[in-house]
Structure 1
């Protein structure tokens, strides 16, 4: 059982997935900080100093925190758009790597080259006949 687990855990796909999850979590925290610490204060200034997280509706003892929900939805769209741009950039870099210039196929000789080749061949033939 240990050998099977080790074989599974050390497969390339599992390691790639683990690395992706770790990098994704780190990237997510960076984007969350961008949203909470930079973008949302600017949005708050633009809409008159409103803090979405504090918006709520109270009915009796029940509190509906719709502002926190709106904040989470905005966070989601910003994070997903950021990840989209990141993946798009990576794909563009991969495409450039794949599109390395291919060696050009030799083109057909021009008429000048054909004439020069004929002259060369005639001179070789004449040199052989003279010997």
Structure 2
């Protein structure tokens, strides 16, 4: 069982997934910083508040953290857009590489096929 687990972990897909998760979490931290340190001050100019996270709606004893939700929504939209761009580029490159290229063997086999057809037609 330990050998099977080792083989499973050593497969490329699992390692690729691990790298993707690590890079994704680092990228998320960068996007959160971008939102908090760049976008929020710009929006604060228009809303009159330092940052959106301080925007709270209180109804009775309930507090709705609307600003925090908007920050998370902005983070999600930025990350989703970047992932979209990455996947679109990847799909375009993958589509380009899947076109089969004629090898010398393919060319020779095609010529042999054509010669055999000509021989059968001449009989």
- Which TM-score band applies after superposition, normalised by the shorter structure? 0.5 to 0.7
Match of 1:15 in 2: 15
Measured after TM superposition, the shift of residue 97 of structure 1 is 7.2
Which structure has more helix as a fraction of its residues?
A: 2
Gaps of 5+ in 2: 103-123
TM-score, scaled relative to structure 1:
0.61
Match of 1:112 in 2: none
Match of 1:29 in 2: 29
What RMSD, in angstroms, separates the aligned Cα atoms of the two structures? 2.6
1:81 correspondence with 2:114:
no
CA contact (8 A) 1:35 1:78 kept: no
From the superposition, tell whether residues 86 and 38 of structure 1 become closer, same or farther in structure 2 (CA, over 3 Å).
farther
Measured after TM superposition, the shift of residue 10 of structure 1 is 0.7
- Matches of 1:96 and 1:7, distance apart in 2: 30
1:22-101 correspondence to structure 2 within 5 Å: 22-45=22-45, 47-50=46-49, 51-91=51-91, 94=93, 98=97
Equivalent pairs, count: 100
Which consecutive segments of 4 or more residues in structure 1 shift more than 6 A?
Answer: none
CA contact (8 A) 1:32 1:75 kept: yes
TM-score, scaled relative to structure 2:
0.64
Q: Is the radius of gyration larger for structure 1 or structure 2?
A: 1
